[in-house]
Structure 1
């Protein structure tokens, strides 16, 4: 009997994880869209006290409002975001994912909501470019495009990956690594907020487009998101949020 119960439980679990991604019509009928982000990547998505905020959070809430929906947020470790999306645990992920060929095999990306890239940060002013990473120990966050691109620098001594970008930064501060590669806007904010820490901003290792993601093939939701995002970019509301966080318009040109 236990055997059959186990089979039934397994079947139920399989059914739960084989549910199709919610199409835009189902989301509109419900009236609420479930968005997931990391919540540990300032200034893009982070907690100020108990409040989730940041550039991406504000942009997403603006887009959702344009879609005529309400938003419900879920925060989880960066490495689990796209996995949870494929399991239909949320409708859309917005967490500074760079568009890469590998990721595009697993998810459908929306139009990019900003352009950025990976910047070298070090305490030693001589470590500025990808070339200068030769023979050095470099910190990056697990599951990021920063990791993928640092791996291409064949001359590095060692790459250390950390569960959060904050952990990678801490490794640089404590001199466990020689350099840290992260988003250029994150780098600029960290240096500005910690003027006495000794952070030296270097050059860009690569440039990338950053976009939200939906489950593979959920083009109806992606199209609805893109239409609403374009509207925020056309009416000036996107520019206002971008200027608030970065003193510039960070959309892709």
Structure 2
């Protein structure tokens, strides 16, 4: 009787162990299947993105806009670059930042030289005729800068007839036309700002962040003339036939803001949240 009881209990134990192993295998298989399905979905989305290079998000900038995007030891760095790298990571792609002259940067995008422009481009109605824009990844404003020694220009009304410097093919060209027809265009705002102290320019219209950073980083003896003259939303530009990529980038930006990653990057470069 005792022997039969022993064999019965042993049989129950064996069956229980077999059931547990089966459950573990089932759970492992389910997890593996889910992972594989997720990976396949990611690959499918990446395929639909119409990327210039498989597995990479190639995004362009001028590389001349410190601290937003510039070269340090032959490597592209800056706020725009970090934002681009974070977006790339979140949509499962390798970041591939590149440079292109600003005056032809939209043509380069439309010619499929790169997938996106993440280079502090203002989203405007005119540009929207050629490309699509993501939700803003920072908000700034056009600002007038003058030499610290300039005593003649006290308000924007004093800009009438003055020589104003702007970056080529920027929205600031139209802003400058409101005050003067003496406009000098430069490949970079930094070059224009450097012409203020020696008096080669009377004023420069550029992004407020760029001007203030130039004052801090380069020690340029310049000053902002009052508050911003125009609020600007800066966004990622994408070709119009790439809706899947646009949706992925928008989602990535939203997630960055929600989980605090965006604020960390912004605080690192500017000491403030550029979306607030």
Return the TM-score normalized by structure 2.
Answer: 0.77
Residue 162 (structure 2) aligned to one of 119, 130, 136? 136
Gaps of 5+ in 1: 1-21
Residue 77 (structure 1) aligned to one of 101, 105, 115? 101
Matches within 5 A, 1:127-206: 127-153=153-179, 156=180, 158-195=182-219, 197-203=220-226, 204-206=228-230
Deviates more, 1:77-86 or 1:129-138: 129-138
TM-superposed deviation, 1:25 = 4.1
Q: Is the 8 A contact 1:35 1:90 kept in 2?
A: yes
- CA-atom RMSD in angstroms: 2.0
1:207-249 CA-to-partner distances (Å, cap 9, x unmatched) read 1101110112322111110001111111111100101111110
Q: Is the 8 A contact 1:45 1:54 kept in 2?
A: yes
Return the TM-score normalized by structure 1.
Answer: 0.84
* Rg larger for: 2
CA distance in structure 2 between the partners assigned to 1:25 and 1:218 by the alignment:
6
Quick one: higher RCO (CA 8 Å, sep 6+), 1 or 2?
1
Structure 1 residues 126 and 109: alpha-carbon distance in aligned structure 2, compared to 1, 3 A threshold: same
CA distance in structure 2 between the partners assigned to 1:145 and 1:61 by the alignment:
26
CA distance in structure 2 between the partners assigned to 1:60 and 1:118 by the alignment:
23
The count of aligned residue pairs is 228
1:90-139 CA-to-partner distances (Å, cap 9, x unmatched) read 11111111111110001011111001111111111553543221121100
CA distance in structure 2 between the partners assigned to 1:132 and 1:212 by the alignment:
35
Q: Secondary structure at the match of 2:153?
A: coil
1:129-164 CA-to-partner distances (Å, cap 9, x unmatched) read 4322112110001110111222223xx251111122
CA distance in structure 1 between the partners assigned to 2:266 and 2:129 by the alignment:
30
1:58-79 CA-to-partner distances (Å, cap 9, x unmatched) read 0110111111110112211111
CA distance in structure 2 between the partners assigned to 1:28 and 1:152 by the alignment:
39
Moved over 6 A (4+): none
TM-superposed deviation, 1:46 = 0.6
Structure number having the greater strand percentage: 1
Aligned to 1:237: 261
Aligned to 2:27: none
Aligned to 1:52: 76
Gaps of 5+ in 2: 1-45
Matches within 5 A, 1:3-152: 24-27=48-51, 30-123=54-147, 124-152=150-178
Q: Is the 8 A contact 2:136 2:233 kept in 1?
A: yes
Q: Is the 8 A contact 1:120 1:129 kept in 2?
A: no
Structure 1 residues 33 and 185: alpha-carbon distance in aligned structure 2, compared to 1, 3 A threshold: same
